[in-house]
Structure 1
Amino acid sequence: MNARRPLCGLQVPRTVQGVTNKFVALNKRDDVFLALGNGIIRVWEFRAEENRLAYRNCCLGIVHRQIECVKVDADDRFVYYGTRSGDITQVELDVNQAGDVTPRFIDSIGRFLKTEKQQKNESSWFGHGVTALFLPTDQKDTMFIGTGNGCVYEVRKMMVPVKDPIRSRHGVTRSSPRSRTVLDPIRKAQLSGEITTIYPALHQKSVYVGTSVSSIHRFDSDNWARYELIFTTNHGSVFGVNFPQDFSGVFATAGQDYVRLWSAVDGREMLRLQVANMVCTVVDFMRDGHSIISAWSDGKIRAFSPESGRLLYEINDAHPKAVTAMATTGDCTRIVTGGKEGQVRVWIVSPSGHKMLNSMHDHKGLVSCIRMNHDSSKCVSSSEDGTCVIWDLE
């Protein structure tokens, strides 16, 4: 590393090259590491006395998996890798007297289905693939698993008898009992997004879980029903941001599937309002602070309570296409919106209902922004057609 030069290298033949996307080192040896990819597991060994690399491939037969995560147990005896198919593949590392490591495929492991109903209606594979693994060093029969559909499992490895029919040379079918490793779920929790990282801090009696939606959760290791969100942030594009009138303690952001209310003091998420498969394009507060007004890609306006997150009212078909711009008046009785089709509309809102007051068609392109003057008597709208129009709201 100090000289910044490679020690050695080796070109793998094209016939066994494969596509490598994961690397993992052993725990007790510095000269051996594994390279894993789609349909290939290869053990690499650095032979310092010869200054060269050597490799051995694991014969997987007809097993072809897309590898998502990989872990080696504390004794460097087994390798477990999670796959997009939803199973966990177990590979044994055989070490001979000379210290050479040879990988050997053992089995593909799934969930243990206890009842006949589960065996009939459920799959033993984990939903949306296994995306995170953790093997505790002090509990060799325990494993933590994260899946693509947001489930976190604590499982126990166990052996169960399996009877497979075997046909002899004489055509006689008999059953030969054998044992197979399965994963018996002990605990399970459901989170949002794909599970990306699991780290049990058992000395703290906590399990930390990271997700693809930029959130970190902490579980009580004794009771998974008790967990808390300790960190989160926006995980995609932010399409809008706004502060309430004359108050800088909180602000709201708009993005894919959500409106989120944040503390401006410590950056903590205070409220999350979700609408599945929709994009919130604009977010604003009514001047009295009693509602959060949001514009969405499905052409609707939705108003939520900033305290409970309850939906207060919804303006269906506010625009025939997406709502792309919005502003509210100072008396909290009107909302001015702009749409993807180029129209600007004025809405009257009240606890008893809402109705459209006017619809203007001067713009020829998407309405990109709407702003009010100080007394809400006029507003100005801009458009992608290059025009700005001032509207009299009196």
Structure 2
Amino acid sequence: MSTPNNQQQERLDNLQRLELESTIGFEGKIPNGLKLHPDRIHMIYPLGCNLVIENLQTRQQEFLLGHNNNISCLTISNNGKYIASGQVTFMGFKADIIVWDYATRDPYARLVLHKVKIEDLAFTCTDRFLVSLGGQDDGAIIVWNMETKEPVCGSAAQHKSAGITYCLATSKEDEFQFYSAGSGTLRFWQLDVGNRKIRPTDINTGIVKRIVKCMTVSLDGTFLYCGTTTGDILMIYIPACQFKTIGPEKKKYSMGISAMQALINGDVLIGTGEGKIHITEKETFKSFKTLQATGSITSLALRGEGHMIFIGTDRSHIYKVNYADWKMELINTCHNSPINDIAFPFGTSELFGTCSYQDIRIWHAPTGNELLRITEANKTCNSLCFTRDGKMIISGWDDGRIRAFYPETGREIFTINDAHNRGVTAVTVTNDCRRIISGGGEGMIRIWQINPKSREILATMKEHKNAVVAIRINKSDTECVTASLDGTCIIWNLKRFARTQVLFENTLFQCVAYHPEEYHILTGGSDRKVAYWEAVNGTQIRELEASKSGTINGLDIDSVGNYFVTVSGDKLVKLWRYNEGDVFGIGIGHGSEVKKVKICPNTQHIVSVSADGSVFRWKFPKSTA
């Protein structure tokens, strides 16, 4: 495995790509990240490095892959022909804007000039030009011609004395006029194509100093509304470039205005940082209709004339509001903090469970619908598993308790208090469903007997010096292997409750798995290697370099033992052939560190979960061998 870096890159390009079948997730923290296509049946939103186009009627998803880092903004042309998306990248590197052809779902142009981050994008009213705004390390506005795919001109977005510019808006009638606003800056821009110049006009707001985070232009094109972090709205009269008014005078909107849209009747729809949406009167900006969502509102998208409103929040919820009867309905939800574990019930690939901060969720795999949510306020679930008979969900929590729930209702069956004193970090159940084996943050392994009315402790095994991160049991319930952050994996005899073998490695182990025939054990950890061990005597047989950068966080072997899959901190999902020890397929698309992975029991799909709370479902490739 001692290939040079460029060869490794070449090999990544030649490998078979894992096909992404569906995702559960929504990147809610991106301002105006949720958009509705003018065809009215598709919503578009970013998820990591992917753009997801989801059909609102069939919930079928398509993916636009092209960015090599997380997407930071997107916009759709007025005629719906193009989608433009911008990304973030590392300091000193150029950040790409990709313009996608909506009809073919292929990249139409890749525009590269800005550095580090694209803050906002906007198409002019005729869709002839695209205006892009760089982030705080770039600070430039560039106008691009969509026909030639070339930049027309560019300029610094603000005075040297002003703060960061955050948002753009374009005129409703004049294709050569657009607006920018941010911290202490509010400008009208005129595009002079002949001389290749953009000329700014600063709007004087007098003594009013505000940070503008969102803007919208009234549908008749005469007023520009700017939402501020203070919780009020600035109104600018566009023909005279004049600051007209600021409101509401008394009751400011709590936690600032984070999204806004002008409605067809002249009212302004706003979303606030505390999760409320308001419809406000056009002159005074007083609220006369309001609704409450969960999390701060980052996107408001109108369908058609605005008879339906779609709302995205930073808690990764998407809501639908019918304007006529003013009712709110949750249509999409997912975890919004790192997912710590994933488990399939024995023998079924239809359902799986994930656990995260505050909750456990059970998902229907084919549709991505959430079937059940079990919530424990302010506690983190570190590990979960289903009993083999499917009658219980066993979970380990950071408050040191093991909790069991009914999978149908989510009602609690029992709790084992003070199971471990530094949180329960790993938990599993024997195949006869009579015993729970748990590992804690202090390194203890405890075995619990499940009786009809009570739970009793059978044994405590103290060998590990640090947190236990994974426990696997063999099929006959006679031995188990535990992986720990102290650099050891221990094979325990479950009849004598004593250790039989110990595997030492200079690494923080993160994951461990038995080969289905149980003669090998696979481990992965912070040294970025996957190691094969002999289960009988604990000797290492083989070591593969599984990642160029980033810890191996999870691995899983298929039911036959021909393939295994690894996920790591480098955001990649890799499928390996077991005997050959080479990469067979690679899944690119996660936007942050991938935490865990499972191959579903029927070996049709691979499900991976990541630190941004998203769940990706990949097709298991048909063997070409």
TM-score (norm 2): 0.52
> Is the 1:20–1:35 contact (alpha carbons within 8 Å) kept by the matching residues of 2?
yes
Matches within 5 A, 1:242-281: 242-281=343-382
Corresponding residue of 2:293:
191
Given the superposition, is the C-alpha separation of residues 204 and 29 from structure 1 closer, same or farther in structure 2, using an over 3 Å criterion?
closer
Following TM superposition, by how much is the alpha carbon of 1:385 offset from its aligned partner in structure 2, in angstroms? 1.8
Q: What residue identity is the alignment partner of 2:365?
A: A
Q: What residue identity is the alignment partner of 2:380?
A: V
> Is the 2:152–2:193 contact (alpha carbons within 8 Å) kept by the matching residues of 1?
no
Q: Distance in 1 between matches of 2:473 and 2:458?
A: 17
In the TM superposition, what whole-angstrom CA distance separates every residue of 1:184-211 from its partner, at most 9, and x where no partner exists? 33242x3222222222436695332222
Q: Distance in 1 between matches of 2:207 and 2:429?
A: 63
User: Is 1:131 matched with 2:258?
Assistant: yes
In the TM superposition, what whole-angstrom CA distance separates every residue of 1:227-266 from its partner, at most 9, and x where no partner exists? 4333334444322111011222200112233211111222
Corresponding residue of 1:173:
none
Q: What residue identity is the alignment partner of 1:63?
A: V
Superposed CA RMSD in Å reads: 2.6
Following TM superposition, by how much is the alpha carbon of 1:365 offset from its aligned partner in structure 2, in angstroms? 1.7
Following TM superposition, by how much is the alpha carbon of 1:52 offset from its aligned partner in structure 2, in angstroms? 2.7
Q: What residue identity is the alignment partner of 1:371?
A: R
5+ unaligned residues in a row in structure 2: which ranges?
1-144, 496-625
User: Is 1:28 matched with 2:131?
Assistant: no
Given the superposition, is the C-alpha separation of residues 239 and 20 from structure 1 closer, same or farther in structure 2, using an over 3 Å criterion?
same
Matches within 5 A, 1:48-87: 48=193, 50-87=195-232
2:308 to 189, 206, 219: 206
> Is the 2:170–2:179 contact (alpha carbons within 8 Å) kept by the matching residues of 1?
yes
User: Is 1:287 matched with 2:388?
Assistant: yes
Given the superposition, is the C-alpha separation of residues 12 and 291 from structure 1 closer, same or farther in structure 2, using an over 3 Å criterion?
closer
Following TM superposition, by how much is the alpha carbon of 1:93 offset from its aligned partner in structure 2, in angstroms? 2.2
Corresponding residue of 1:143:
268
Q: Distance in 2 between matches of 1:184 and 1:349?
A: 56
Q: What residue identity is the alignment partner of 2:235?
A: Q
1:318 to 393, 409, 419: 419
Q: What residue identity is the alignment partner of 1:32?
A: Q
Matches within 5 A, 1:147-162: 147-153=272-278, 155-157=279-281
Q: Secondary structure at the match of 2:340?
A: strand
User: Is 1:230 matched with 2:357?
Assistant: no
2:243 to 92, 98, 104: 104
Q: What residue identity is the alignment partner of 2:316?
A: S
- Deviation larger for 202-211 or 49-58: 202-211
Given the superposition, is the C-alpha separation of residues 11 and 220 from structure 1 closer, same or farther in structure 2, using an over 3 Å criterion?
closer
Following TM superposition, by how much is the alpha carbon of 1:386 offset from its aligned partner in structure 2, in angstroms? 2.2
Q: Distance in 1 between matches of 2:477 and 2:232?
A: 60
Corresponding residue of 1:344:
445
Following TM superposition, by how much is the alpha carbon of 1:57 offset from its aligned partner in structure 2, in angstroms? 1.3
Computing the radius of gyration from Cα coordinates, the structure with the larger value is: 1
Q: Distance in 2 between matches of 1:309 and 1:17?
A: 53
In the TM superposition, what whole-angstrom CA distance separates every residue of 1:31-53 from its partner, at most 9, and x where no partner exists? 11111111111111113455432
Q: Distance in 2 between matches of 1:186 and 1:52?
A: 43
Q: Distance in 2 between matches of 1:316 and 1:34?
A: 59
RCO higher in structure (CA 8 A, sep ≥6): 2
Corresponding residue of 1:297:
398
Q: Distance in 2 between matches of 1:105 and 1:351?
A: 73
5+ unaligned residues in a row in structure 1: which ranges?
96-101, 112-123, 160-180
TM-score (norm 1): 0.80
Following TM superposition, by how much is the alpha carbon of 1:274 offset from its aligned partner in structure 2, in angstroms? 2.7
Given the superposition, is the C-alpha separation of residues 85 and 283 from structure 1 closer, same or farther in structure 2, using an over 3 Å criterion?
farther
Corresponding residue of 2:191:
46
> Is the 2:385–2:428 contact (alpha carbons within 8 Å) kept by the matching residues of 1?
yes
> Is the 1:215–1:232 contact (alpha carbons within 8 Å) kept by the matching residues of 2?
yes
Q: What residue identity is the alignment partner of 1:157?
A: E
- Deviation larger for 309-318 or 332-341: 309-318
Q: What residue identity is the alignment partner of 1:89?
A: L
Q: Secondary structure at the match of 2:263?
A: coil
Q: Distance in 2 between matches of 1:250 and 1:34?
A: 49
Q: Distance in 2 between matches of 1:217 and 1:295?
A: 32
Following TM superposition, by how much is the alpha carbon of 1:320 offset from its aligned partner in structure 2, in angstroms? 1.5
Q: Distance in 2 between matches of 1:376 and 1:203?
A: 62
Q: Distance in 1 between matches of 2:215 and 2:426?
A: 46
Given the superposition, is the C-alpha separation of residues 205 and 157 from structure 1 closer, same or farther in structure 2, using an over 3 Å criterion?
closer
